[in-house]
Amino acid sequence: MTTSPFPYVEFDGHPATGEDLSIPAFAGYGHFTAMQVRDRTVRGLALHLGRLDAANRELFGLPLEGERVRELIGHALDGAGTRDASVRVHGFLPPGRAATVTMVTVREPARTTGAPRSLMSVPYARAVPHIKRPGEFGQMYYGRLAERSGFDEALLTAPGGVVTEGSITNVGFWDGTSVVWPDAPALTGITMALLERGLAEAGRPSVRRAVTLDGLGAYGAAFVTNSQGIAPVHRIDETPFPVDEELMKLLGRVHEDAPRETV
């Protein structure tokens, strides 16, 4: 960052004003996607743009044109004076507006350390989980509760101990043959989608299967993914998981091989 402090925020291509910032503060019904930008490129950019358009149509009945969003991201990077960043793109439709207001935030680039993580299961599943949206109280509440209890993150579960997703991640398991994603209502993260695609292209297709807390012993390893990367899981509640180095190398290679697109 050379010209502006973090975070740098633009609304529809201009630096945020106080009036602009009242939109997320007082009319926060909306959606977003989060991405890591390196040298003005993003893995899975088309998936991010498709997510934004689909959510905008579902929430507001309006398209959110991908090329316009790409331009807004590039403009915000220029305004922030950086080519490497954590970027979020939000869509809002404030009362009285006929067109979507697009907010782009630019922060320092981030990447998971890859250190093994611990998850605490909690009895919470998000409503409308396929839409990524800001200000999710339950996720924040249980995520903080997990941290106060000595864990790195919360693992959200539906009735019957059905595993759905992490509070800020997707979770995957290894059964000795395949990567297993919980077959339950959850957000399909961009990194998860890239791994699914890449594993299939590498001849190692992943599968969807119901995963329950009382069935965790059937899996030899676990991991989490989000926009910052991939990390192994070494414990869920009191169930330990060894770190499968070969699995993590496979996932890392597949992720690194995903093509980047320019913004």
pLDDT tens, residue by residue, 35-68: 999 999 999 999 999 999 999 999 999 999 999 9
| Residue-wise pLDDT tens digits, 99-121 | 999 999 999 999 989 999 999 99
Strand pairing report for 207-209 and 179-182: parallel
Q: Which two tokens stand for residue 243?
A: 């770190």
For residue range 144-154, what is the model confidence (pLDDT) as tens digits? Answer: 999 999 999 99
Give the dihedral sign, CA 19/22/28/32.
Answer: positive
Q: Looking up tokens 């597949």, which residue turns up?
A: 254
pTM: 0.95
Domain 8-107 has CATH 1.20.120.420: no
For a pLDDT cut of 70, what percent of the chain falls above it? Answer: 98
Candidates 2.40.50.110, 3.20.10.10, 3.40.50.300, 1.10.10.10; CATH matching 117-262: 3.20.10.10
Residue 262 reports pLDDT greater than 60: yes
Say if CB 125 and CB 158 are below 8 A apart: yes
- The amino acid that residue 93 corresponds to is L
Q: Average of pLDDT values for 146-169?
A: 98
pLDDT band at 1 (very low <50, low <70, confident <90, very high): very low
Six-digit token string for 195: 């791994």
Burial level of 99, CB count in 10 A (0-12/13-18/19+)?
A: exposed
What kind and span of H or E run contains 107? strand 101-107
Once rounded to an integer, what is the mean pLDDT over residues 11-26? 96
Tokens 């893995």 belong to 43
Q: How far apart are CA 75 and CA 77, in angstroms?
A: 5
Instruction: Please report, for the chain, the start and end positions of each structural domain, with discontinuous segments joined by +.
Output: 8-107, 117-262
Instruction: Return the SS3 of 125.
Output: coil
User: In terms of DSSP bridges, do strands 162-166 and 207-209 run parallel, antiparallel, or are they unpaired?
Assistant: unpaired
How does pLDDT run across 174-233, given as a tens digit for each residue?
999 999 999 999 999 999 999 999 999 999 999 999 999 999 999 999 999 999 999 999
